[in-house]
């Protein structure tokens, strides 16, 4: 689907693909050792390596093509996310609190007697059901019941000790970062209260240190599964080995309906033998400050990847403020040192901003951005207009607003695709073009961001190229063609959409 543009990108990226390898091989005090067995090497396209900085990680054992499957494996354990609503223990769907269906045996909430997750280890297993039978929930205390869900996933892992020792062994091998987590004032006491004490109050005899370790294993290694707004998380025996990079080289999907709830990790770009196979632990559409804080907070290390180390984030200027003196770009002087000042990038301009002022400004803008309703088209447009003299259009808050707009134009009330005037269609196309320039860098190849921007959904099973929503002239300075398409009427556009519908319903899709 992306082949043409993508090939070009591969050429350009030749050097950068080697970046990860270089970083790993030459960073200080690292000892690389191979831990894969000879048998595994034969069949796998990756091999496991070790470094003092990253622990275990995987690299391509041979050249891997973009789109190729790297890992496909069932889950070791699946369970509710922390902070989820009242959900079915079998299928993780939200439960109507006024009409709770209960498991016949243990009386815990399930969606129905025929929930597909009943009796499965990826849902409400028989051994969990037997354990919970002696701890029926108190439905007069719904808040407490919701809180108790935080202990369910750790309990599911602990139950594997007896129910499925190989799975227990596999998950026990994962990093828990106990020392780093213990030193933090927030995580350890929260887990002590919500998980350790809860399991103790249920009369289940597990060593508190072991429960904390399982909490750590989940925090460091679990994947959210089930799409956006997911209520479930899962551990996988191999996929956890993917190291972090802020320009990831893979995408992954999980299959809710397949037994074992398998994960599929695909190469989003081509890898050369030896290249790091990576995943982004943060949201790629955030700036370096935010991504690094999130990764430190949730995964316990400071990222210093190529994107983080570059003040212009690989040429995207995704964190750039507008210089109040010369309208140039204000960027961090040393992006890996969050307390260092920011400065205008223009030679003649010596404008600087102390780090504290940047953090405050960013917080204020983020708070305002977060107030915008997810479906509010004018809200996002107003934000862009209001801060045009404060943020460069490439700033990630502008990109986030544009990304929302790119998805909302054509999809929500008052902006349905068949009703949109040319000005709005053109706006959507322009926004998508702006976004693609950045997405090509931060999520290159077969990525979800690129996919949702290149294509626009025009029906339940049909998509068209966004750029094909309206015809434009590409000759002579990109002037519009002075003919009937210039101001394509609603009828004409409907016609094009209809044709596109019949032609492109079978567009190849990235499995996502």
List of residues contacting ligand SAM (CB under 6 A)? 53-57, 174-175, 177, 220-221, 240-241, 243-244, 299-301, 303
- Minimum distance from residue 424 beta carbon to ligand SAM (Å): 41
> With left for phi above 0 and alpha for psi between -120 and 50, is residue 260 left, alpha or beta?
left
Burial class (CB in 10 A: 0-12, 13-18, 19+), 350: exposed
Nearer to ligand SAM, 148 or 264 (CB): 264
Nearer to ligand SAM, 237 or 424 (CB): 237
Nearer to ligand SAM, 309 or 372 (CB): 309
Nearer to ligand SAM, 125 or 247 (CB): 247
> With left for phi above 0 and alpha for psi between -120 and 50, is residue 269 left, alpha or beta?
beta
Please state the φ and ψ torsions of residue 504, each to the nearest 5 degrees.
-110, 20
Q: Are 328 and 344 in contact (CB under 8 A)?
A: yes
What angle, rounded to 10 degrees, do the helices at 208-221 and 152-163 form? Answer: 110
Q: Rounded distance, CA 305 to CA 314, Å? A: 11
Nearer to ligand SAM, 221 or 404 (CB): 221
- Minimum distance from residue 297 beta carbon to ligand SAM (Å): 11
User: What does the angle CA 121 – CA 124 – CA 127 come to, to the nearest 5 degrees?
Assistant: 70
- Minimum distance from residue 92 beta carbon to ligand SAM (Å): 22
Written as six digits, the tokens of 155 are 């309990």
The closest residue (CB) to ligand SAM is 55
Written as six digits, the tokens of 167 are 């799975």
| Residue whose C-alpha is closest to residue 365's, from 321, 316, 311, 313 | 321
Nearer to ligand SAM, 301 or 415 (CB): 301
- Minimum distance from residue 267 beta carbon to ligand SAM (Å): 18
Nearer to ligand SAM, 254 or 451 (CB): 254
- Minimum distance from residue 367 beta carbon to ligand SAM (Å): 29
- Minimum distance from residue 153 beta carbon to ligand SAM (Å): 16
What angle, rounded to 10 degrees, do the helices at 396-408 and 355-370 form? Answer: 10
Q: Are 269 and 278 in contact (CB under 8 A)?
A: no
What are the counts of helices (DSSP H) followed by strands (DSSP E) for the chain? 18, 16
- Minimum distance from residue 163 beta carbon to ligand SAM (Å): 23
Nearer to ligand SAM, 177 or 403 (CB): 177
Per-residue three-class SS string for 180-236: HHHCCCCHHHHHHHHHHHHHHHCCCCCCHHHHHHHHHHHHHHCEEECCCCCCEEEEE
- Minimum distance from residue 173 beta carbon to ligand SAM (Å): 8
């Amino acid at each position: 689907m992306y082949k043409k543009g993508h090939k070009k990108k591969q050429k350009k990226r030749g050097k950068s693909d080697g970046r990860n390898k270089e970083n790993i091989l030459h960073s200080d005090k690292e000892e690389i050792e191979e831990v894969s067995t000879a048998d595994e090497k034969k069949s796998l396209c990756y091999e496991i390596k070790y470094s003092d900085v990253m622990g275990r990680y995987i690299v391509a054992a041979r050249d891997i093509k973009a789109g190729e499957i790297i890992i496909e494996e069932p889950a070791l354990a699946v369970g509710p996310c922390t902070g989820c609503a009242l959900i079915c223990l079998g299928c993780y769907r939200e439960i109507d609190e006024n009409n709770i269906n209960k498991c016949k045996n243990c009386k815990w909430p399930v969606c129905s007697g025929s929930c597909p997750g009943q009796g499965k280890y990826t849902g409400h297993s028989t051994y969990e059901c037997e354990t919970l039978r002696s701890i029926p929930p108190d439905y007069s205390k719904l808040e407490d019941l919701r809180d108790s869900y935080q202990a369910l996933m750790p309990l599911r892992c602990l139950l594997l000790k007896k129910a499925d020792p190989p799975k227990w062994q596999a998950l026990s091998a994962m990093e828990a970062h106990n020392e780093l987590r213990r030193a933090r004032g927030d995580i350890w006491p929260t887990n002590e209260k919500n998980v350790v004490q809860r399991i103790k109050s249920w009369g289940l005899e597990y060593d508190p240190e072991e429960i904390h370790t399982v909490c750590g294993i989940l925090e460091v290694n679990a994947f959210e599964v089930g799409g956006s707004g997911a209520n479930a998380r899962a551990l996988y025996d191999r996929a956890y080995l993917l190291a972090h990079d802020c320009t990831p080289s893979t995408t992954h999907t999980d299959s809710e309906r397949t037994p074992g709830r398998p994960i599929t990790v695909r190469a989003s770009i081509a890898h050369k033998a030896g290249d790091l196979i990576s995943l982004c632990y943060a949201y790629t559409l955030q700036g370096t400050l935010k991504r690094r804080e999130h990764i430190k907070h949730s995964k316990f290390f400071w990222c210093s990847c190529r994107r983080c180390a570059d003040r212009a984030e690989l040429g995207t200027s995704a964190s750039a403020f507008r210089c109040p003196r010369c309208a140039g770009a204000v960027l961090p002087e040393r992006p890996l040192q969050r307390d260092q000042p920011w400065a205008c990038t223009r030679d003649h301009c010596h404008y600087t901003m102390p780090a504290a002022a940047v953090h405050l400004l960013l917080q204020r803008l983020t708070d305002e951005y977060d107030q915008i309703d997810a479906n509010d088209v004018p809200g996002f447009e107003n934000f862009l207009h209001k801060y045009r003299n404060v943020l460069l259009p490439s700033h990630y808050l502008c990109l986030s607003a544009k990304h929302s707009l790119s998805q909302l134009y054509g999809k929500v009330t008052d902006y349905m695709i068949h009703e949109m005037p040319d000005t709005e269609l053109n706006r959507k196309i322009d926004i998508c073009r702006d976004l693609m320039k950045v997405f090509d860098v931060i999520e290159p190849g077969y990525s979800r961001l690129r996919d949702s921007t290149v294509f626009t959904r025009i029906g339940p099973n049909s998509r068209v190229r966004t750029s094909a929503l309206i015809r434009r002239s590409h000759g002579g300075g990109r002037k519009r063609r002075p003919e009937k398409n210039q101001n394509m009427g609603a009828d004409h556009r409907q016609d094009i959409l209809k044709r596109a519908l019949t032609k492109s319903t079978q567009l190849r899709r990235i499995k996502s």
